A = this chain, B = another copy of it.
């Protein structure tokens, strides 16, 4: 658990102690699950006292929310950046899938917490995260609908297709590990190709 890793994961979070606690939280949640992790476990993983944890996060749930919100903000920014960019729907979809799948491979431990611990978020925090998820889904659905309109894609049901596109990327977090022979970027490239075919892209 290094400072450079936590800086890489959460460049916008300050101070460094907060990032170290988020990383310790990710590692504990991924290993034992959210409910079986105590704030003492997390503080100890970050080399701090429980009291020092509460300076940065008022509760375990607040720490989970910080991790979840940041992960959703990052993937939404990735999706919005691509969708708003230049290029045909096919070209943008390829870039989107490459980035989305590679993100889930490269940050698979963080991504597992982001994708699989939604049920542990308190109600208000869950609403915020759910709104971010809906925006991601709508962007992908709209890009597919645009591609159908332009003749780039042939898809019967853009909503199901959008679900499948995101689902392929999300599930990478479950099965990907450092032992995998494929780099995150190489996997992203292959998934980009598979998704274009799935959408009937005429490339």
Contacts and interface: CB of A to CB of B under 8 A. Distances in A.
A163 interface: yes
Given A115-B174, A200-B197, A167 B168 contact: yes
Interface string A143-169: 000000000000011001101100110
A175 interface: yes
A10 to B, nearest CB: 24
Given A33-B36, A167-B171, A168-B164, A193 B115 contact: no
A192 to B, nearest CB: 11
Total identical chains:
2
A190 B33 contact: no
Tell me if A's interface is mostly helix, strand, loop or mixed.
Answer: helix
26 contacts: A31-B119, A33-B34, A33-B35, A33-B36, A35-B35, A36-B36, A115-B174, A116-B174, A160-B190, A161-B194, A163-B175, A164-B168, A164-B191, A164-B194, A167-B168, A167-B171, A167-B174, A167-B175, A168-B168, A168-B171, A170-B174, A171-B171, A171-B174, A197-B197, A197-B200, A198-B198
Given A167-B174, A168-B171, 12 more contacts: A32-B35, A33-B33, A33-B34, A36-B36, A156-B193, A160-B182, A160-B191, A164-B168, A167-B171, A167-B172, A168-B168, A197-B197
